Chain A
């Protein structure tokens, strides 16, 4: 079974631009969560989508948004990029939502904002 895939793997943007990252979950998984990883803050939860609805949201500004499609694929968008948005963005999928559901991570998208 194929794992979680993320595209693109690497991205360079400049301040003020916007970016869209894509995540395809494992087949049959309906929950997708997004995380940001930086050297200073570590791994931080952004949001979770299940059945096209946002179920949980972390403490990030409104510039960070996401959505999920009917095939469970998910996208996250960051508008008006700042230098501090440079990070590894990870998505994880699980069959359902809930604390007993194991999440499996993709390889991440590394974003550099110049």
Chain B
């Protein structure tokens, strides 16, 4: 089972920041949080990942709470092309390359 809980859907106005929450209250100290997104019928696209510290790249920022029980993915200026299903995944340390996907959050960016 997925170790994460996400809201099933969210809306965001174009040009505004999209803040996608994820709860992972049972995360262990050495488990990473990964974010992927999937635009309809395409392969999932890697966005960002982190362990303890906040991370930023050209696509997004990842804010992880100090107790690591939750995180937020931030798309700073959402565009229509950011409409997708966003998956928050906790990588379990002893399961190698296995990704356990939950249901994700369906983000709709509206004009």
User: What residues of chain A have their CB less than 8 Å away from a CB belonging to chain B?
Assistant: 4, 31, 33, 35, 42-45, 48, 50, 55-56, 58, 88, 90, 92, 94, 97-108, 110
Bound complex: CA of A45 vs CA of B102, how far in Å? Answer: 12
Residues of A within 8 A of B91 (CB): 99-100
Binds A, one of B4-12, B37-45, B71-79: B37-45
Whether B45 pairs with A45 at a CB distance below 8 angstroms is no
User: What residues of chain B have their CB less than 8 Å away from a CB belonging to chain A?
Assistant: 31-32, 34, 36, 41-46, 49, 87, 91-93, 95-103
Residues of A within 8 A of B97 (CB): 31, 33, 48, 50, 55-56, 92, 94, 97-98, 101, 103
Residues of B within 8 A of A45 (CB): 98-100
Specify the chain B residue showing the minimal Cβ separation from A106.
Answer: B43
A23 to chain B, nearest CB (A): 11
Bound complex: CA of A44 vs CA of B1, how far in Å? Answer: 10
Complex A-B: 5 CB contacts under 8 Å: A42-B101, A45-B98, A92-B97, A100-B32, A102-B34
Contact of A102 among B42, B49, B95, B103 (CB under 8 A): B49
Whether B43 pairs with A4 at a CB distance below 8 angstroms is yes
Beyond known contacts A45-B98, A56-B97: 7 more, CB 8 A cutoff: A42-B103, A43-B101, A48-B96, A48-B98, A94-B97, A102-B49, A107-B42
